[in-house]
Structure 1
Amino acid sequence: MASIPHDLAAFLVEAKRRTYAGLDDDATVAMPLLAGSKQLEHRAPPYAYRDIYFGMGFFVGQETVLRDERMIWSMSYSGGARAEITDRDTFLAIYKFLRQALLGVRVEEPYRGPRMFEQDGMVYRNEIEGALDRFHGVETIARHDGAPLYELRYGGGLLR
């Protein structure tokens, strides 16, 4: 097993709270590396975090962490709101709720949001397997009555 830097989880939590979860697309870099993408960044030397994704209703992306200019960690993800959700207000409410859930990211599991979060008639669930060096999971959002609204799958770990 690769050695996990002791402060990597704390850096990830800070980076996630200071980019999409805390700022939405306002954290977007003006000139992303990949045309048509959204690119969010956070730096706290020796670390640098970058999240690049495409799409909105259904999206795919990748988060990376450099330490001293060397890529050490990555997570890829894909998902989004259910295809039958076309109402803009519902769509925006789902992503606003998602950002609230993602603000609850914890050092113990610094991948997405907490295991469970409830607010405004919606329930966020995050099922995780593994540890920071190698993990995968699925997050879902449903109405309180159980009607599914959103799903995202993710996985990643330490690069070696």
Structure 2
Amino acid sequence: MPSIPHDLAAFLVEAKRRTYAGLDDDATVAAPLLAGSKQLEHRAPPYAYRDIYFGMGFFVGQETVSRDDRVIWSMSYSGGARAEITDRDTFLAIYKFLRHALLAVSVEQPYRGPRRFEQAGMLYRNEVEGALDRFHGVETIARQDGTQLYELRFSGGLLR
């Protein structure tokens, strides 16, 4: 089993806060590698972070971390707002809340957001199993009355 670099979790937290969570799509690279995708990047040598995803209402993506130009860690994810949610203002409110939750990412669990985050009448939950070398989880957003608004599944780990 590969050993987890001691500074990988801290780099992931910094990268996530400096890309989608902190800047939304304003962090998007002008010419993404894959046509039609959003691509967000952060570098702090020896590491480089890249997040490429497609879609908005329902989206699929992959994050990678390279060390000295070799990909060492990756996480794939898919999910989004419930299909019956078509109102743009509701979409925007859900994703704004999501970015606030994702800003609370921790070094202990640098995958998505915290286990629980509550704000503006919405509740974010993140249930994850495993460690940075191999993990999977699900995050959800619901209204305080329990109405489900959003779900995303993710998994990943160290590459070998």
Stretches of 4+ moved more than 6 A in 1?
none
Instruction: Tell me the secondary structure at the aligned position of residue 135 of structure 2.
Output: strand
Which residue of structure 2 lines up, in the alignment, with residue 106 of structure 1? 106
Which residue of structure 1 lines up, in the alignment, with residue 42 of structure 2? 42
CA distance in 1, matches of 2:98, 2:128: 17
Instruction: Tell me the secondary structure at the aligned position of residue 105 of structure 2.
Output: coil
Measure how far apart 1:2 and its partner are: 1.1
Which residue of structure 1 lines up, in the alignment, with residue 141 of structure 2? 141
CA distance in 2, matches of 1:46, 1:118: 35
Which residue of structure 2 lines up, in the alignment, with residue 129 of structure 1? 129
Instruction: Tell me the secondary structure at the aligned position of residue 13 of structure 1.
Output: helix
> How many residues were matched structurally?
160
Q: Output aligned runs, 1:7-156, within 5 Å.
A: 7-156=7-156
Instruction: Tell me the secondary structure at the aligned position of residue 34 of structure 1.
Output: coil
Instruction: Tell me the secondary structure at the aligned position of residue 54 of structure 1.
Output: strand
TM-score, length basis structure 2:
1.00
Instruction: Tell me the secondary structure at the aligned position of residue 31 of structure 2.
Output: coil
1:61-81, Cα deviation, whole Å (9 max, x unpaired):
000000011110000000000
Structure 1: state its 5+ residue gaps: none
Measure how far apart 1:128 and its partner are: 0.3
Q: What amino acid is aligned across from residue 127 of structure 2 in structure 1?
A: E
Structure 2: state its 5+ residue gaps: none
* Aligned sequence identity (%): 89
TM-score, length basis structure 1:
1.00
CA RMSD, aligned part only?
Answer: 0.3
CA distance in 1, matches of 2:17, 2:116: 17
Instruction: Tell me the secondary structure at the aligned position of residue 83 of structure 2.
Output: coil
Which residue of structure 1 lines up, in the alignment, with residue 159 of structure 2? 159
